[in-house]
Amino acid sequence: MNKPNYTTLNLGPTHPATHGIFQNVLTLDGEKIIDTEQTIGYIHRAFEKIAERRPYYQITPLTDRLNYCSSPINNIGWHLTVEKLLGIKSTKRVDYMRIIVMELARITDHLICNSVIGVDSGAMTGFIYVFQEREKVYEIYEELCGARLTTNLGRIGGFERDFSISVLSKIREFLDHLPKVLKEFEKLLLRNRIFMDRTINVGSISAERALNYGFTGPNLRSAGVDYDVRVTSPYCSYDDFDLMIPVGTNGDTYDRFAVRQDEIWQSLKLIRNVIDNLPEGKYSMDVPEFYLPPKQDVYNNMEALIWHFKIIMGEVNIPAGEVYHSVEGGNGELGFYLVSDGGRTPYRLHFRRPCFIYYQALPEMIRGGVLSDAILTMSSMNVIAGELDA
């Protein structure tokens, strides 16, 4: 018997279709994929090691660089973890402000992923449409914290400043305008014959396999499992609001696209709901040991000056203990396992990165398919290199 004549193809590390730096070594029989092996770690920055030397507030910028398409979720997830360890009870206003920011981040994350699925299947137009809307969210971030992509937004114990009138009006403007663009975007793709032919039954995974592979987020929900951290283990007062979890049936590329699209609509509804019920109050909790005092107090008030100095120099010790906290990130369950020995830095900090865990299922999902379908499967899984490598 002749040995089959397979071709080896290197997809990546810097291939435009992978949308990030990671390599796939594909074994091909003609255009059919026999197997693939992934190489990752090209942007490994040793965040878990670095975190062992940093005071808690300096770890927030590290989390920015995990899933950089939705940095605020990572930032707030980290703050919630530390607050859980410290036993800080958050106020409703802070919770609701956090929900608004996190849902805006989820919308941008899904907009990027879904529009890129369009690009990879040959439809550039939708991408341009929704990127204009993403820009508006980035303007909101800019107004809130001064940064756009790697936001370092919020503090342990609340927000650095309140939502200004201009922020609130920008959010409302965004909520009014996005539905129009989103409908247009859906008209372009959702029932488009070419798009449907390219995505339905492409890269599908069963619910059972998805769970076994540790899938979370839209990828798991598209396979029909209604697991959403916001609902199963509510944090940040998410349980005050009605939340519908969109689920798919086949776990294929089309379902992943549709689930994300539905989640954008749900997030819009949720933000509208939250902003209408935003209670009055302070935008931070009363935790002087961890929350920086206002600058004018630092200049005029001895106690505030002391706290300012202690926090900035990292002289505040955190009680010993261990805690696991997770939030629903753009891609799934983003978890923080934090072990403190009572010092100023974590003893051990482990990030549960959803991308890292579900990306290992790719060989199983693309095996037997063709190369062009593999590209679509990969982009619909929304693999973000920053989160993959930490």
List the interface residues with another protein, window 226-255 (CB under 8 A): 227, 232-233
Identify which range of 167-175, 191-199, 206-214, 302-310 contacts another protein by CB under 8 A: 206-214
Q: Closer to another protein at the Cβ: 293 or 314?
A: 314
CA atoms of 335 and 390, how far apart (whole Å): 13
Q: Closer to another protein at the Cβ: 211 or 278?
A: 211
Among 326, 340, 377, 380, binds another protein (CB under 8 A): 326
CA atoms of 55 and 40, how far apart (whole Å): 29
Among 7, 201, 277, 360, binds another protein (CB under 8 A): 360
Q: 2 CB contacts (<8 Å, ≥6 apart)?
A: none
* Closest to 137 in 3D by CA, of 164, 165, 100, 162: 100
Eight-class DSSP state of 339: E
333 binds another protein, rule: CB under 8 A: yes
Asked if 317 and 342 touch (Cβ cutoff 8 Å), the reply is: yes
* Closest to 26 in 3D by CA, of 36, 18, 39, 15: 36
- Distances from the Cα of 25 to the Cαs of 112, 290, 369, in angstroms? 26, 47, 15
Q: How far is the CB of 35 from another protein (least distance, A)?
A: 13
225 binds another protein, rule: CB under 8 A: yes
* Closest to 135 in 3D by CA, of 112, 163, 102, 118: 112
Enter the tokens of residue 44. Answer: 């490994």
271 binds another protein, rule: CB under 8 A: no
Q: Please list the residues that pair with 325 across neighbouring strands.
A: 336
Site string for another protein, 79-118 (x = CB under 8 A): -----x----------------------------------
361 binds another protein, rule: CB under 8 A: yes
Q: How far is the CB of 245 from another protein (least distance, A)?
A: 13
CA atoms of 151 and 159, how far apart (whole Å): 12
323 binds another protein, rule: CB under 8 A: yes
CA atoms of 295 and 308, how far apart (whole Å): 9
How many beta carbons lie within 10 A of that of residue 297, not counting itself? 15
* Closest to 229 in 3D by CA, of 330, 332, 322, 106: 332
Per DSSP, the three-state class of 194 is helix
Q: Closer to another protein at the Cβ: 125 or 212?
A: 212
Q: How far is the CB of 113 from another protein (least distance, A)?
A: 21
Cα angle, residue 383 at apex, residues 377 and 387 outer, rounded to 5°: 170
CA atoms of 97 and 77, how far apart (whole Å): 14
Q: Closer to another protein at the Cβ: 84 or 367?
A: 84
Asked if 304 and 294 touch (Cβ cutoff 8 Å), the reply is: yes
Q: Closer to another protein at the Cβ: 146 or 368?
A: 368
Among 269, 337, 371, 372, binds another protein (CB under 8 A): 337
Q: Closer to another protein at the Cβ: 58 or 273?
A: 58
310 binds another protein, rule: CB under 8 A: no
214 binds another protein, rule: CB under 8 A: yes
Site string for another protein, 15-54 (x = CB under 8 A): -------------------------xx--x-x-xxx-xx-
213 binds another protein, rule: CB under 8 A: yes
Which residues would be at the binding site for another protein (CB under 8 A)?
Answer: 40-41, 44, 46, 48-50, 52-53, 84, 209, 211-214, 225, 227, 232-233, 314-315, 317, 321-324, 326, 333, 335, 337, 339, 343-345, 348, 350, 352, 356-357, 359-361, 389-390
